[in-house]
Amino acid sequence: MLDTGAYWSVLRRDLAQAQGLKMGTTLYFDLYDLTGDKLKNMTTADVKLGALGYGETEFAVGNPIEGSSMDKDGGLIGHNMLAKIDLEIDNAGRTVTFFSQDHCKGAGVHWADEAVTLNFKKKPAHAPLGTKLKKVDKNQIDMPIVAADMDGETVSILFDTGATYTSIDLAHAKRKCGIGTDTPGVVPFGKIYTANGNAVDAYKYTFKSLTISGIKFENVPVVLGDMNDESKVLLGMNELKKLRLFFAFKDGMIHITAAGAGRSPQ
């Protein structure tokens, strides 16, 4: 899975074992898999995506989802890999394309004359202790979080291709939009796992509008729960599928058009 909402890449345990990969226990941050289990092992593998060679790449090792097959669900590609490339997602064409980051800033949209460009925050260059020379950490990870308007309220939203549904932290929804579990229109949605590995009660509510720099989604179904996520709101594939996107991770930009832009009528 290509997951722009994942901090780190993950490989399923049985696939790592089948490939004979050595697994260590050097995990220097907390990560959880989709079953809610904490990831305790790391491994490295020589990775190649199409013609793009990554070389030795670090993965967290996780348990597979019950019933999933190794050939269709081998793991996910997170930001430790994505930060080194530019990424085009053509939802209408059902393709993804990886590009080198060696190009002029702002380049990327080759399929249309116009596009909406969003900027997401990147950590500034800093001077290491004992020097005045500022530099950017080549391994830093900056998540694609931008400002949006949700039923008239400003929120921070993460573009998350690993999320099926758009979601919002329940406390954040109450504080920003006045939406709680007792709000008319809010219905139970079962349980979901959060980034912290907790299974929480979830609810569903349809927001009238979600606007991101002039891009407007109407009647947006949103999952609510105690997410405790940094961005508070995740834009999932239920809405992202309507767009064609170019992520310029090095530049801190997302270029967007409608999914069908630049395509000849059938």
Q: What is the count of structural domains for the chain?
A: 2
Q: Which of 23-27, 142-146, 183-187, 243-247 has the lowest mean pLDDT?
A: 23-27
Identify whether residues 110 and 149 lie together within a single domain: yes
Identify whether residues 108 and 78 lie together within a single domain: no
Could you tell me what percent of the chain has a pLDDT over 90? 52
| pLDDT tens for each residue of 50-89 | 888 888 888 998 887 777 788 788 888 999 899 889 999 9
**Is residue 94 situated within a structural domain?**
no
| pLDDT tens for each residue of 238-262 | 999 999 999 999 899 999 999 998 7
Q: Which of 22, 50, 82 is the last residue of a domain?
A: 82
Structural domain that includes position 68: 10-82
**Is residue 49 situated within a structural domain?**
yes
The enclosing domain of 222 has a CATH number of 2.40.70.10
Identify whether residues 35 and 68 lie together within a single domain: yes
Residue 104 has pLDDT above 90, yes or no: no
- From residue 251, give the alpha-carbon distance in Å to each of 26, 185, 209, 257: 30, 40, 29, 18
- Give the pLDDT band (50/70/90) at residue 265: low
Identify whether residues 32 and 117 lie together within a single domain: no
Identify whether residues 168 and 232 lie together within a single domain: yes
Q: Where are the beta strands (DSSP E) in the chain?
A: 10-12, 23-24, 41-49, 52-62, 75-76, 86-90, 95-99, 116-119, 145-150, 153-159, 166-169, 187-193, 199-212, 215-225, 233-235, 243-248, 253-258
Question: CA-CA distance, 254 to 35, in Å (whole number)?
Answer: 31
Describe the strand order of the beta sheet including 41-49 as a list of residue ranges.
23-24, 41-49, 52-62, 10-12, 75-76
Give the residues across from 209 on adjacent strands.
Answer: 218
